[in-house]
Structure 1
C-alpha cells in the first residue's frame, strides 16, 4: 500500500509509550543577509517586523533562530545541511538590507515565507506591507485637502524592489489632473546627493512633497524651510511611534506576525518548496495625521 513511517511521529509515540514525553520546541530558521546577527535591530521598521515574528513563533511553540548568509563561512550549501541536520522545516526570510535575495539552493524540503519583497523568486509565498495602498491613501488625502501641485521623490532601488507600486499610482494620479498642475516624478539614485531633492522641490514650485523616508523632512527644515507653511510634507514610511510627521506608519509588527502564521500553516499542510500557487498577503498601514499637512490647503495662507 506504499506506507512509509514518519520518523517524527514514531519518536513522539515512543516517548508517549514510555511515559517520558519530552517538551520540545520545533525550530524555524530566520534567514537574513545582515553582516552581523540581529543587525536588523538598528533598522526601526525591520526590527518591528522581525520582533513580531519572534513573538508569534514563541506563542505557537516554535523556536526561531537567525542564520545570516553574510556570516563568515556561511553559504547556501552549508545552510541547507545545517537546517536538515537540525530538523528545521520552515524558513522565514527576513527583510534584506540592500539587494533582494536569490535562492541558490534546493528548497524542496522546506516551507518558505518571505517578509517583504526581499526575494526575487515570485514562486515563494510572501507577507508584505501594502505599498500600493499607502500611495493611494496619501494621494486621496491630498486631493481631499485641496492640494494642487503634488511632487514625489522616491529611491529608485526601493521603488523597483516593490515592483514600482509607488510610482505606478503616482503616475496614474498625475494623468488624471489638469496638465498645468502636473509634476514629474523624482526618482533618486540610491546614493544621491541631498541637493538633488532640494533642486527638484524648488524647480517645480510644489505645494506638497511625498517622500519615502522622514529623514527628508529634516533635510528640508535644515535649509530654513517652514513646514507646512512654505511646503507641506507627507511620508510613505514614518518612523514607528512618530506622531508629528504626516503619512503612513507601515504596521510592520503585524506583517511579522502574519508571516510566521503563514509559515506554520504551510508546514502543517505539507506545503514545501515552491508551491504551485504561492500566497501573497499585503498588510495595510495606518494613517498618521501629524502636523506637516494642512487640513484644508485651499484656505492656507
Structure 2
C-alpha cells in the first residue's frame, strides 16, 4: 500500500489525532551519538497495523508506543516495533521508553525504580542520577550454536571459522547469536556481507586492551531488516553479559563500546546486584512535540 493511500484511509476513518511524541538518544552522554528511539504516547486506541505502519515510516531500529498498563505493578505498558515486526522485548527501547514516560510526568517508585510492562513481562528499570538500567530478562534460548550456523556466520562476517572463539544462542526477545572474537580490533575490522546473513541476528564481542575506558567492543548485525548494523543494542548486551559472566570471560562491572564504526559513541554499563544483571546507560532528550496518528 502506498503511503499516500494510507494517509487518506486514516483521514476517512477519522482515526488521526494529535499525540505527544518524543525522540530520545539511548546509551550516550552526548546527543546524537547513541541509538535513537521514537516514542508515541497515549497509544491505547492505535491498532497493531497502525503501530507497525508508523514504525516502518520512522525507519529507526525501533519505535515504541506507551499504553495504560494492565498490571497494577507497572507504571506503563509498552509495545515495541522494529521496521518490520513487533518485539516482545528490546533493551534500548526499554530505557528510552522509561525516560520518555518520566519526562511526560511519570513518577519513580520508592527505591528509585520504574516497572515496565511489555510482551516479555514486567521489566524493572532502575533510575539513578543521570542513568537508567534495566534488569536483564531471562534468556529463553541459551546454549551452543549448531556448527552449520557458525560456518554461515563466519562467511557472513568475512572471517575464518578459526577466528570465532565461541558462539552461543542468546535469545531474550530478539534471536541473538553471540560470537566472541579474540580482540576488539578484530571486531572493529569486520566488514560483513549483509547478503549472506539471511535471517540471522549476530552479536559480536571482543575485549579491549586492559586499563582503557571500555572493556569490550560490540557490534550487532541484523539480517533481513532495513537496519543492517544496529548502533547500540541493549538486548544483545544483556545476553552477552549473561554469557560472558557465566564463562568467566567478563568480570562486572564493565563498560562495552558499540557503534564506533558508525560514528557513534555508545556506552553500555553492565553491573550485577543481588545476583541479577543490570544493563544501563545515559538517555538524552532530543525531540519533544506531537504527531498525528
* Shorter-chain TM-score tier: under 0.3
Higher strand share: 2
Higher helix share: 1
Which TM-score applies when normalising by structure 1? Answer: 0.25
Which TM-score applies when normalising by structure 2? Answer: 0.25
The structure with the larger Rg is 1
